Amino acid sequence: MSRRALTLLLAGILVLALGVVGAFRPVPYVVLSPGPTENTIGEVDKKPVISIKGRETFPTSGALSLVTVAYQGGPAAQIDLLTALRGWIDPTVAVVPQETIFAPDRNPKEVEEENMVEMTDSQDSATAAALNELKIHYDVVVTVVSTEKGKPADGKLQKGDEINAVDGKPAKNVDVVGDTVKAHKPGDNVVFNVTRGKEKLDVTVQTVAGPKGQTQVGVLMQAKYKFPFEVDINVGDVGGPSAGLMFSLGIFDKLTPGELTGGKQIAGTGTMEPGGKVGPIGGIPQKMVGAKDSGATVFLTPADNCAEAMKAVPDGLRLVKADTLHNAVLALDALRTGKGNVPACEAG
């Protein structure tokens, strides 16, 4: 073998070795793929996903399935370049920068805990929305979660305080309290009427200017709902708020005579506000693939996700636009009966 040929051979081996080593080096990306689906009117581990006690329920059929996105990677378990390359080739998955899922100032455990809190809040909001749709009364209590150290509320408002009113205005929800505070100028006094234990108190707190120029007092609040009967939702370790719409529909279906699905396999996604508004979510292409793989033929799609969904909808999956819980119920009624309008997604 000539010296030139030997040099080229050695160089080729070196390049190949470097390529192999490079392929297995960690990269700051996350692979998103279709996750599991759960039928909200079905069971998980032989337990109902939605259990209702203290109120009459009715038989259901078919499926109202929530869909999820699974991820691979993250700061604690970064994927290698080869895995990222496979993901870029696979049309059913997405490869995104790590910081879009894990903010630099949060570790994976914090992200997981935040997702679980969001799921709990989502379940409460979904229950509230379903009861609103059914005209069933419930009470909302705005509760102090914590106060910010050094801010005016610190030492005045306490964790667990139930806020009844602000400046005499009933505290119907967290937004009412926040908006009332923001309507003041920095330096003004705000009067909180709270229940602390068994005692009702008026607590005066002076406002200050926040970092974005909004008036604040430095209090973190949470709406706690007092429903007239027990609604328990069991989905294991699924996190995040995007199952709200399907939770609401599952609760609605169980509390009303007749079968909302007409026996069809229906999946969907979307956040849910207590007032019934459906909000957009992420990972819509992967969620549609998961829905189709689970046997769904209809996919309830948040209105704000319709344009994106139209570009990646799997064959055989019908997209139905859902902007509110009320309209989603009407759409399912129309699908079941063949009468009425079924709003479709349109390409943007």
Cβ neighbours, 10 Å, residue 182: 12
Q: Is 56 helix (H, G, I), strand (E, B) or coil?
A: coil
* Structure tokens that stand for 282 in this block: 């992420």
Residue among 156, 242, 248, 321 flagged as catalytic: 242
Rg (CA), the chain: 25
SS (H, E, C) 274-314: CCCEEECCCCHHHHHHHHHHCCCCEEEEEHHHHHHHHCCCC
Catalytic (active site) residue 172: no
Q: For 250, phi and psi rounded to 5 degrees?
A: -65, -45
User: For residues 235 and 44, is the Cβ–Cβ distance under 8 A?
Assistant: yes
**Residue 13 to residue 5: CA distance in whole angstroms:** 12
Q: Is 23 helix (H, G, I), strand (E, B) or coil?
A: helix
Catalytic (active site) residue 287: yes
Residue among 156, 287, 292, 321 flagged as catalytic: 287
* Structure tokens that stand for 43 in this block: 């069971």
Which among 143, 180, 138 has a CA at the least distance from the CA of 274? 138
Q: So which residues are the catalytic ones?
A: 242, 287
